[in-house]
Amino acid sequence: MLRVIKNRRESNGRKSESRHSIQVHSTTAEDAGSHIEGASKKTAWRKEASSVLLSLQGTYAPITEAVILNVFTDWTILSDLCSGDHVWWEIVSSKRFCLRNQWITINRPECRNTFTVKTVEEMERAFKNARDDSDVGVVILTGKGTEAFCSGGDVGVRSREGYVGENRIPRLNVLDLQIQIRRLPKPVIAMVAGYAVGGGHVLQLICDLTIAADNAVFGQTGPKVGSFDAGFGVSAMTHMIGARKTREVWFLTRLYDAQEALNMGLCNTVVPLDRLEQETVKWCREILQNSPTSIRVLKAAINATEADSDAQAMAGNSTLIFYATDEAEEGRKAYMEKRKPDFSKFKRLP
Ligand SMILES: CC(C)(COP(=O)(O)OP(=O)(O)OC[C@H]1O[C@@H](n2cnc3c(N)ncnc32)[C@H](O)[C@@H]1OP(=O)(O)O)[C@@H](O)C(=O)NCCC(=O)NCCSC(=O)c1cc(O)c2ccccc2c1O
């Protein structure tokens, strides 16, 4: 069955692209793929559609509804619009069947792909789906657009008790996401264009590999905005670039261009922006040719050489306590008021 419906949706007050719906009965992923390709070729509306909503009704359970992005490319690209009764608002989660990889894209380009409690909850769900889906061999984490991979927590929703979600409960849930990415028994690649700063930079550190575009900018901004990640944000970085450089990155809060980041060891390679996706796919293909069990064990073994999640939890608790102070509040307020923070009145205790 094929049905085409035009629709428009609002996400958190932001208008998203117009979408077209197709409903397809299918029993397998491959079968669904061929339906979609056929459908997208036939339809006259494809010119005006930037994405297509697809409802899969069949025994292929992991995707109940999906968006086909990029119908003009060679690949069948599916994006979960819903998983179960859940709709994505702040991310896009898309799967490329033939490439066996899952793309998780932070979808808040208007604020440099900052994350909120909701963004993180959606990422947690998308990573869980990727873990459970045996068709997926590699996960790619990225940000929508070319301006930013992710610029960290949304300072606008930070309170003295953490980042506040829709239910008004403050949380630091990105710390759970970090653990989830590290425990995922499949490689996670950060595909970085533009800014990867603050908590966004920690996310790229947590990923197993980082492919950067030549416009990428890396750095930790925490001490400027009254924050720090003294968990993996420090242990993973120290492991990666050494203690001296880690101190420089955190103490000075400088930003580093892609070449500097590569020289430091913060990313694996740098490619021109227009080749970023192609290069990322190339790395995925090479990984996917190898034994999944070997990769799984090696990922865990490499991570086991770093500080553990208990230390990360202790560090997270200290951030939580810090957010309640006037010192942290000065950093947050200054950022929101677009001024330099004034930390001069805060004591340096002996
Ligand atoms: C990223 C930038 C360097 C980009 O600069 P640029 O000049 O290109 O763009 P703008 O500054 O004009 O930004 C456009 C637009 O986006 C808004 N925005 C950007 N980043 C944020 C943000 N993090 N929070 C809120 N809003 C943001 C910006 O205000 C503009 O909005 P307009 O309305 O004015 O158009 C630059 O934007 C920048 O430096 N951003 C701040 C980066 C930052 O400090 N991030 C937060 C660090 S703290 C953190 O991420 C964090 C989160 C956690 O959950 C933790 C948990 C546990 C421990 C530690 C945590 C932690 O440290």
The pLDDT score that the predictor gives to residue 307 is 73
CA dist., res. 21 & res. 345, Å (int): 58
Q: Is residue 143 in contact with ligand 1, taking CB distance under 6 Å?
A: no
Angle (deg, nearest 10), helices 174-183 and 199-206: 10
Q: Ligand 1 centroid to 324 CA: how many Å?
A: 19
Q: Please name the residue whose Cα sits nearest to atom 27 of ligand 1.
A: 111
The pLDDT score that the predictor gives to residue 96 is 78
Q: Is residue 194 in contact with ligand 1, taking CB distance under 6 Å?
A: no
Q: Please name the residue whose Cα sits nearest to atom 58 of ligand 1.
A: 229
Asked if 216 and 193 count as a contact pair (C-beta separation under 8 A), the reply is yes
The pLDDT score that the predictor gives to residue 39 is 52
Q: Ligand 1 centroid to 335 CA: how many Å?
A: 8
Q: Is residue 125 in contact with ligand 1, taking CB distance under 6 Å?
A: no
In angstroms, what CA-CA distances link 226 with 54, 198, 219, 342? Answer: 43, 11, 15, 11
With respect to CATH, is domain 91-336 assigned 1.10.10.10?
no
Whole-prediction pTM: 0.84
pLDDT digits (tens, 9 = 90+) for 84-110: 556 789 999 888 767 789 999 999 999
Low-confidence ranges of the chain (pLDDT < 70): 1-86, 97
Q: Ligand 1 centroid to 200 CA: how many Å?
A: 9
Pocket test of ligand 1: the residue of 14, 106, 111 to mutate, having most ligand atoms within 8 Å of its CB, is 111
Q: Please name the residue whose Cα sits nearest to atom 17 of ligand 1.
A: 111
CA dist., res. 158 & res. 151, Å (int): 14
Q: Is residue 196 in contact with ligand 1, taking CB distance under 6 Å?
A: no
Tokens standing for residue 304 = 């086991």
Q: Is residue 198 in contact with ligand 1, taking CB distance under 6 Å?
A: yes
CA dist., res. 91 & res. 124, Å (int): 11
Q: Please name the residue whose Cα sits nearest to atom 29 of ligand 1.
A: 111
The pLDDT score that the predictor gives to residue 63 is 38
The pLDDT score that the predictor gives to residue 297 is 97
What's 291-314 look like in SS3? CHHHHHHHHHHHHHCCCCHHHHHH
The pLDDT score that the predictor gives to residue 306 is 85
Domain boundaries, the chain: 91-336
Helix (H) or strand (E) holding 33: helix 29-42
